[in-house]
Structure 1
Amino acid sequence: MKPWNLVFALAAALACATPAQAQVPPTAAETTAYQGLHAAAARGDMPALAKLIAARADVNARDGYGRTPLHVATFARQADAIRALAQAGADLNALENDRYDAVTIAAVADDEATLRLLLQLGASAKQVTSRYDGTALIAAAHLGHDGVVRQLIAAGAPLDHVNNLHWTALIESIVLGNGGPRHQATLQALLQAGASYALTDRQGNTPLQLARQRGYGAMVQMLQAAGAVK
């Protein structure tokens, strides 16, 4: 194997652990052991949540993994709890121990409804998150969550952010995707929004070259239609 191919393979294997496997949702045991706002957020127990908020419980309290009640409510898709916590002053952009925020948690889960709510409440789509110095947009592009990608683009997510693997969202939609319809739709959304098709990976490969290497004909056509020539 050529050296650059080995580097690429190792980087791809590492990145395949992100972002889905890198996120750590509360386990069943943790959820059972939760007390206070974390417990109410996990269950969507609105009377308990309201009582605790009225008693000035810390809405940004952390569990053993650095998750706030908002993180827990996002993992559990508890929309009413998310709304109540936000109205009580919870930090919508807090990062847990692996540097994930609620927006990225919802993006990885392909949870468009929760993502929409978080963005409406004022959460940012622009944060640098995860141990890979990525963004919610990169995470969603990796997974082919095209609806999430469109939401994040509309919310001002940085189109050309480069993570510490030297990949953009557009590049990840190719190198970590399967070339199927959802990854194609993701690539198309990024191209239409103006994401760069000239930025390269660490080895100097352009998105067009990467799509050709992987045999993703539809993606090659999209990139060429957008103006990519090499």
Structure 2
Amino acid sequence: MEYKRITSITDPNFKKLHDLMKEIFPPEEVLEYELWKEPLEDPGIRVFVAINGDEVVGATEYRYYPDWNIAMTDFTIISKPGLSLGRFLAQNRLKDLQKLANNNGKELFGMFAEIYDPYRVGHEFGGVRVMDPYVRREVLSHLGYKRIDLDYVHPSWENNGEAVKGLDFCFMPMNDELESIPASLVADFLTTYYSILSNKPKEWIDMIEQLRSKEIISLLPL
């Protein structure tokens, strides 16, 4: 299996990836095909696919932020069982991020991720059993992710001003004993991460203001 980066919408593997995203994720979570042009060409955004033969069977998108020495996992897709895709993607992603952090003269501090909470909002992920949100949540907990103590919403990627709920915002510290992180880090990160969307819901704006009123925010069990 090959771990290959995609940097252009003209890459044939990107069409396969985008079709996979539309099969698995809800519409408000999938950026339109043409709008991927700039993100893919951005050196800071890393989109990798797992290729088995000529088929795209998995993918992960993530970013490293050198100023904060943290990463963000945008999404992970596993389309088939029996290929150890979860470990393949997680291990290759971590190796790549550790290399980026080392090039920055540091050891990676940790990684953010949005995680569905199926106990609040059900979602079938296109009926793909290996993407079952109950299983994914436990896998991410096993990897070391912790839930940030926050009533979380995010702006819809359809840029329609709607607040997307039913997710937790989480952080995987490289030091598993870490129990809190600066609230300003979370606020600054989310403000930067969603700067591409011009139409922010009031719930999101209020959440950011609440974060800026705190010094630290707790990391809770997932």
Normalising by the residue count of structure 2, what TM-score does the alignment of the two structures yield? Answer: 0.30
Higher RCO (CA-CA < 8 Å; seq separation 6+):
2
More strand by share: 2
More helix by share: 1
Normalising by the residue count of structure 1, what TM-score does the alignment of the two structures yield? Answer: 0.30
Larger radius of gyration: 1
